[in-house]
Amino acid sequence: MNKKTKLTKLVLSFAMLGLMSGAAVAEELSGTLAKIKDSGVIVVGHRESSIPFSYYGDNQEVIGYSQDYSNLIVEAVKKELNLPNLKVKYLPVTSKTRIQLLNNYTYDFECGSTTNNLERQKTVSFSDTIFIVGTRFLVKADSNINSINDLKGKNVVTTAGTTSEIRLNQINSKENLGIRIITPKDHGDAFNALETGRAVAFLMDDALLAGERSRAINPTEWKIVGEPLSYEAYGCMVRKDDVQFKQLMDKTIADAQKSGKALESYNKWFTQPVPPKGANMALEISPKMVELFANPNDKALD
């Protein structure tokens, strides 16, 4: 066998090895990525009124800070699977339905305002954190309410299926405050209960409260009060132990945070007027968020 023949066989051997490796990679796809590859469709869960995280804009398109991350993840999936024409479908979810619909494969992932905590980690997995919030109250600016102790025997609203609902029930029971708790299905309905006087305070994550306040006819009539009852970390939610998809999500999120892209998104949604009414959240970035962007992680804060 001459040198030319040997070289040809060597090249062919490496080529076959490359083909086999490519086939192996394809075969090794699992979980959500395999599902998307097989179907040619990715289904994205989103919120309808979690301003400014995930909500409907003027033309019923889904927009917001969390949606910016969601869009980056979709683009990363297209690249990873070499599916530039991947079909993207959007599914609205609520605080009560988001976990069940994820786990029964109705949608593939969600970036909204979902808290990563140890209890939820029993049934789902979370990406690197995208936002850190403090749980506080929204009240009338001329009220004398400044803390949870000022709410004894009063009506307080918080969104059903949230960690805020759990926290409020725990404190109410432990401190014997006699608070009557109202739990509508979404944040918009909760703020409506506050505006119409059915409740005197709305307990929720401070960034979400800023979003609801911005939608008021006169935002200056409302103020966010109280020391945070807790700090919570929002993450994008994926089915439990879906390692491949979580790794892709984590890398996408970390790249955005370290490159400055996430900071641009923060400033766009929290320090400037946003659609649909041009309201400004007026929420400067916190030291906790600055630290997060410098050191991306998926730690729960409870």
Calculate mean pLDDT across residues 279-285: 89
Q: How are beta strands 124-140 and 201-205 bridged, if at all?
A: antiparallel
* Integer Cα distance of 38 and 1 in angstroms: 45
* Residues 183 and 222 occupy one common structural domain: yes
- Closest CA relative to residue 183, chosen from 209, 161, 151, 216: 161
pLDDT of residue 17: 46
Judged by DSSP in three states, 297 sits in: coil
> What is d(CA 149, CA 298) in angstroms, rounded to the nearest whole number?
33
Residue 206 lies in a domain: yes
Residue 142 belongs to a domain = yes
The mean pLDDT of 72-98, rounded to a whole number, is 97
Is 190 inside a domain boundary?
yes
Residue numbers of the domain that contains 186: 134-231
Q: Are both 139 and 107 inside the same structural domain?
A: no
Please report whether residue 2 resides in a domain.
no
One domain for residues 101 and 237: yes
Contact present, 134 and 230 (Cβ < 8 Å): yes
Final residue in a domain of this structure, among 188, 214, 231:
231
List all residues 6 or more positions away from 5 whose beta carbon is below 8 Å from its beta carbon. none
Q: Report which DSSP code applies to 73.
A: H
Closest Cα partner for 120 from 144, 137, 99, 93? 99
**What is the domain-level CATH number for residue 176?**
3.40.190.10
> Domain ends where: 231, 261, 279?
231
Helix (H, G, I), strand (E, B) or coil at 115: strand
Q: Are both 190 and 272 inside the same structural domain?
A: no
Residue 299 within a domain = no
* 233 three-state secondary structure: strand
Phi-psi category of residue 21: left, alpha or beta, with phi > 0 → left and psi -120 to 50 → alpha: alpha
Whether residue 29 lies inside any domain: the answer is yes
| 253 assigned to some structural domain | yes
Residue 1 lies in a domain: no
**Please, are residues 62 and 16 in contact by the beta-carbon 8 Å criterion?**
no
Assign 98 a pLDDT band (cuts: 50, 70, 90): very high
Domain total in the chain: 2
Average pLDDT of 33-62? Answer: 95
Q: Please give the backbone phi and psi of residue 231, each rounded to the nearest 5 degrees, phi first.
A: -110, 140
Of 231, 256, 279, the one marking the end of a domain is 231
- The CA radius of gyration of the chain, in Å to the nearest whole number, is 23
Q: Are residues 243 and 102 in the same domain?
A: yes
Do 123 and 249 fall into the same domain? yes
| Judgement on whether residues 180 and 203 belong to the same structural domain of the protein | yes
Across 247-256, b (16+ Cβ under 10 Å) vs e yields ebbbbbbbeb
Residue 209 and residue 86 share a domain: no
pLDDT, tens digit, 9 for 90 and up, residues 209-237: 999 998 898 999 999 999 999 899 999 99
**Same domain for 56 and 101?**
yes
Same domain flag for 49 and 126: yes
Are residue 153 and residue 206 in the same domain, yes or no? yes
Are 225 and 139 a contacting pair, CB within 8 Å?
A: yes
What is the per-residue pLDDT across 146-185, written as a single tens digit (0 to 9) for each? 999 999 999 999 999 999 999 999 999 999 999 999 999 9
Q: Mean pLDDT across the stretch 175-202?
A: 96
Contact 195, 213 (CB under 8 A): no
Q: Within this chain, do residues 14 and 51 fall inside the same structural domain, yes or no?
A: yes
The whole-model pTM stands at: 0.80
pLDDT for the residue 195: 96
Q: Which tokens belong to 12? A: 């062919």
